[in-house]
Structure 1
Amino acid sequence: MTQNALLETKNLAEVGENIGLNEGIKLVNAFREANPTATKGYYIGRNILEQIMAQPGCVGINFRKCLTNMNEEHLVYTAVDADGKDILEFSVVTNTGDIARQDAIVADKTIYWDGLNGIIEVLNA
């Protein structure tokens, strides 16, 4: 999705598209050549992604770069609603029929990843 198409979309659930292997390799190589000391990538497991997406109103996931206590680059990720706002809490019906607020998932376990060499380091910030 081009930047202009992204700005025009009204449905955040539509953001993202398959660019194919060749274009993906081209983009990754361009970044690595321009930033040889940068973190090459991250790995996040399916289970936490599905848990985030299953939250009421979630249409996507927001990934934010941050720093660990050890000053290492890291990711924190949250659910996003159709208005582009982070889902930080939502309503649930309790066993007694009451409506209560529940904290949404704010996830933080990430693995540094290099597709050529596999897992580099598990971050436990």
Structure 2
Amino acid sequence: MMQTELLTKRNIATIGEEITHELGAELINNYRQAHPNDVKAHIVGKEILSQILAQPGCAGIQFFNAINEFGQKTLVYVGLDQNGKQLVNYSVVTTDAQIQNEKGIVADRAVPSGDDPCFGDDFGWFIID
């Protein structure tokens, strides 16, 4: 089995799938029951996600649980290429045909939804009793 896993590469761009509302609510409830005092959710805006995905060769995004400089739980996220390598550096060709190294985007500042009065931390689409 190990050899098969090593020979089969995952297509980073296809990781993830849509699930039902009911399963989503069940998974969230399971986590909240196991970790009642933990951060319930994070909000990440589309602009930074689009910027990460627009990097040359970016096939997906990896999210890391982290603690920010204020001691609060957060997410740090970085682009991944098709081989699962983090895009912390990448090369581009400039208009004058020079190869230039660029730093990849490493992002944070996700907002824990319970900390912002504009956003609730409930998953209001479906509640399981």
Question: What TM-score do you get using the length of structure 2 for normalisation?
Answer: 0.78
Measure, in 2, the Cα distance between the counterparts of 1:111 and 1:44. 7
Give RMSD over aligned pairs.
1.8
Secondary structure of 2:113's counterpart equals strand
Structure 1 partner of 2:127? none
**Which whole-Å deviations, capped at 9, do the CAs of 1:66-124 have from their partners, x for residues lacking one?**
1112211111100001111101111122243311101110011111125xx7537xxxx
Question: For the Cα contact (< 8 Å) 1:90–1:102, is it kept in 2?
Answer: yes
| Structure having the higher Rg | 2
Q: Mean alpha-carbon deviation: is it higher for 94-103 or for 12-21?
A: 94-103
Q: Which residue of 2 aligns with 1:91?
A: 91
Q: Which structure features the higher share of strand residues?
A: 1
Offset at residue 10 of structure 1 (A): 2.5
Aligned counterparts of 2:73 and 2:18: Cα–Cα separation in 1: 27
Q: Which has the higher contact order (CA 8 A, sep 6+)?
A: 2
Q: For residue 3 of structure 1, what is the aligned residue in structure 2? A: none
Q: Are the equivalent residues in 2 in contact too, given 1:65–1:75 (CA < 8 A)?
A: yes
1:25-52: CA deviation from partner (whole Å, max 9, x where unpaired): 1110111111110100100001110110
Unaligned 5+ segments in structure 1 are 1-7, 121-125
Would you identify which runs of 4 or more consecutive aligned residues in structure 1 move more than 3 Å?
Answer: none
